[in-house]
Amino acid sequence: MLGNMELMDSLYNPCYAATTRNWRNRLPWHVVIEFMRSLVVVLLLLVYSVEAQTRDYPRDIFNTGEVFSGTKPFPSYDPFLLTNLYDKRHEIELQMFDAINEGALRRDKKLRYELDLFHKDLGYIPSLAAAHYKWVFGDKAQLDWLLAEDRKYGFGGDSLTMLVFAYMDEWDKTIRALKQREAYLSSGPGGATSELLYRAIEIRKRLYGSPRFERAWKAAKIK
């Protein structure tokens, strides 16, 4: 409010405007700049502090899923709902990943129709398992793609390609990929990547037997 009064005085009172300009000219530039920055911050806070509307909207107008799958609307608006839904989507993609890998292990040809139907809409995580499935049914180039994805973010990355390798009945390239990660992680890095690696090794042993795994591990040569 004071700023508006000063502005009006400067418009209608030339003496006041001149006095104000002289006062500003006496201030160091860094003080003026800091003042302007503070003013911008205050204005932004005022803009974002305005509360959202509290109006109650009919819940059924926000239920697009009803048309496709008969979903029920959420009982009320929640600004944090998006985060919860995003987390749920990630969980579902992991479940899709598991379902496809199991289909590959079972050599279930019925799954092929589902994969062809969804194709590029599967999402990245399920697509890793889909590569395993295609490899099982003869598309050997899929293994090269998985190995390239495994190397893309370095051996310290927590790529789910490790778990795909755990399921694959391949005893050369996949074993070397796992062994290279183990060698890298043994030098220090760990965390979630180590957990994934040792889970992959345990799955491989349980599926195909520890003796066979140990022989392949020992025979695998890495740089």
**Each residue's pLDDT tens digit, 179-195:** 998 988 887 666 778 88
Residue 14 confidence class, pLDDT cut points 50, 70, 90: very low
Residue 223: per-residue pLDDT: 80
Q: How confident is the model at residue 209 (pLDDT cuts 50, 70, 90)?
A: very high
Sign of torsion over alpha carbons 20, 23, 25, 29: negative
Residue 100's CB: how many other CB atoms inside 10 A? 26
**Which two tokens mark 42?**
């205050």
Q: What percent of the chain is predicted at pLDDT more than 70? A: 74
Rounded-to-integer distance, Cα 199 and Cα 181, Å: 13
Q: Indicate the average pLDDT of the chain.
A: 81
DSSP string for residues in 30-47: HHHHHHHHHHHHHHHHHH
pLDDT of residue 155: 66
